[in-house]
A = this chain, B = another copy of it.
């Protein structure tokens, strides 16, 4: 590591606030610990939790860097003690607990994966957060199977576009909601079988119409609030509702009878606070089940736009405008 610089560029949050509080600063380059690798970042994905952390609403978990950024792609430039999975110079993508908006970033080797053949660094950086999230929630917790129906809210978000792509690749029928006709058209182009503009249509009625009144087998929800009772109404007998965020707030007044009468499962999870070993289990499943599909071009991350680190404020402003379709990515 003697030829690596001591300092690096990183996006830091001057104080909690709007996108304008982001700026690039010189920070000490991190060093990999046991089982960790150091990545020279070539691209870094932006996620909605980053915007919450910038506002001071989502403190990093204990032990995580205080700088933003949950996913990167780049080349390995240093190996920590007992890091044996990769070699110096390997191109990898990685899910990281923080610190992705920087020239160098540390990842646990078990949370890094080789870049699937044919994908650019930008596409690779757009993968970890949404693919880990969709896999563990839709396929593990939600147990979506071929022939079943997935209802995904926020169909044009990074999570939404990934859920559409993966669910279609695994043989499910997909119903996607979005907030404009442009966005529902984008969902359809990505493969959604049915789309709902939630501003003009009721997604419960639309789901029932699309499923011959059976309802959705799995619902991926990041909205919460009044959506919860409506998700119960839109779910099929035996349906699984997986909660990954609460954009409309975590409080709900519910009649729980559908949970019992339809034998629903309401569950959820968060990814970031989990230990590297738990994320490694997801990484292994993705490598086995999804990497072949990515290499074969059968699913692909959707890129909305790219920004240099120096334009971090503009990147966050775009995320918060909700005008984006797919992922927003930094290039270094």
Contact = CB atoms under 8 A, between A and B. Distances in A.
Interface of A: 141, 224, 228, 243-246, 250-257, 259-261, 263-270, 273
Given A254-B252, A256-B243, A265 B263 contact: no
Contact of A260 (B243, B253, B256, B257): B243
Contacts of A264: 267-268
Secondary structure class of chain A's binding surface, majority of residues = mixed
Contacts of A256: 224, 228, 243, 246, 250-252, 268
Contacts of A268: 256, 259-260, 263-264
A267 B257 contact: no
19 contacts: A224-B256, A228-B256, A245-B260, A251-B256, A252-B254, A252-B256, A253-B254, A256-B268, A259-B268, A260-B268, A260-B270, A261-B270, A263-B269, A263-B270, A264-B268, A265-B265, A265-B266, A265-B267, A266-B267
Contacts of A254: 251-254
Contact of A250 (B252, B257, B266): B257
Contact of A243 (B141, B253, B259, B273): B259
Nearest to A251: B255
Given A268-B260, A268-B263, A270-B260, A253 B251 contact: yes
Complex A-B, nearest 10 residue pairs according to Cβ-Cβ distance, in ascending order: A260-B268, A250-B257, A266-B266, A263-B269, A265-B267, A253-B253, A250-B256, A259-B268, A243-B260, A250-B255
Given A254-B254, A263-B267, A265-B267, 10 more contacts: A224-B256, A250-B260, A251-B253, A256-B268, A259-B266, A260-B268, A260-B270, A263-B269, A264-B268, A265-B265
